[in-house]
Structure 1
Amino acid sequence: MPTTRETILAALHARLQPLPALVLRDEVLPERIPPSGLIILRDGQPGEPEVTLSPPRYHYQHRAELEVVVQAPNDRATAFDTLIAAIGTALESDRTLGGLCDWVEAEAPQPADLPVEGAAGLKAAVIPVVLHYSTDDPLA
């Protein structure tokens, strides 16, 4: 049986699947970026939980990350902005991931333009996604 953490990360990955970009989880950046863009979900860190007693509950603000990459020969900025907006809409449509989380919120991206020799440049950003959830056991 998967842990609460794994169940929530799998639900976040599933929530992003309908987006037009290729969505991977904990994969190496591929050599070629699909024309629709690429999103790689990184599991991130659960951090130190706040603990309440009687009964014990561990309250996490888990910081996962989305690596977003677009390589478009024409109007890369618009393609990037469209993909970022689609991610925001996908997360906003279900802030609890079907009741698995207390709340899901993305932080603002810090985009960077990356040159590629002999090809169209990349526009990329890491978007932190904070997953608020509680468990009975830090290993469950």
Structure 2
Amino acid sequence: MSSHREQVVVALVAALKAALPNAEVERDAPWPTRSSPGGLIIVRDGDPGQPEQTFSPSAFTYQHPIPVEFFSPDGAGDRHALLDAMLITAGAAIVADRSLGGLCNWLEATAPAPEDIVSSGSQPLRAAVVNIVAEYTTSNPLA
């Protein structure tokens, strides 16, 4: 059985894959030098930080920022518009299921921080980092 933290990250990866089926979605992949034709998304595990703890019954509530890196398709004509479309689609998927199938109390994305990334060969990739904050409660910080 996976920890609650692991289940949340796996569910987020699955939600992004379903929302953006043409993009390559990876978890904790090395920094890319190229993107795929449908774009690239890298989900980092992030640090859940210190929980808010309650007693009787014992519960630990985390606000876990999960960094997600979005990369426009390699060689894209209008990389700004394509990255924006990827972000809008991901945002709609988050709004459609704020609980990630019941794993979270709430799921919220922060504003993107876009920038150009120099890639090998062609024009720069347009990329953005978005923190997706998952609030969830567990009875054990290791479970």
Shorter chain as normaliser: what TM range?
over 0.9
Change (3 A) 1:91 1:8: same
Structure 2 portions without partners, runs of 5+: none
1:108-129 Cα distance to aligned partner (Å, 9 max, x none) = 0010012336412111111001
1:45-81 Cα distance to aligned partner (Å, 9 max, x none) = 1010001111110010011110111133411111111
Distance in structure 1 (CA, Å) of the matches to 2:28 and 2:127: 16
Find the partner of 1:90 among 85, 89, 93. 93
Q: Does the CA-based 8 Å contact 2:33-2:120 persist in structure 1?
A: no
Moved more, 82-91 or 20-29: 20-29
Distance in structure 1 (CA, Å) of the matches to 2:133 and 2:84: 21
- Residue 40 of structure 1 aligns to a residue whose secondary structure is strand
TM-score by length of 2: 0.92
Structure 1 portions without partners, runs of 5+: none
Deviation at 1:31, TM superposition (A): 3.4
Distance in structure 2 (CA, Å) of the matches to 1:35 and 1:29: 17
> What residue number does 2:10 align with?
10
1:53 aligns with 2:55: yes
% identical aligned pairs:
45
Residue identity opposite 1:84 in structure 2: L
Residue identity opposite 1:139 in structure 2: L
Q: What's the C-alpha RMSD, in Å, of the aligned pairs?
A: 1.2
Residue identity opposite 2:3 in structure 1: T
Q: Does the CA-based 8 Å contact 1:72-1:79 persist in structure 2?
A: no
TM-score by length of 1: 0.94
> What residue number does 1:44 align with?
46
Moved more, 108-117 or 129-138: 108-117
Residue identity opposite 1:57 in structure 2: A
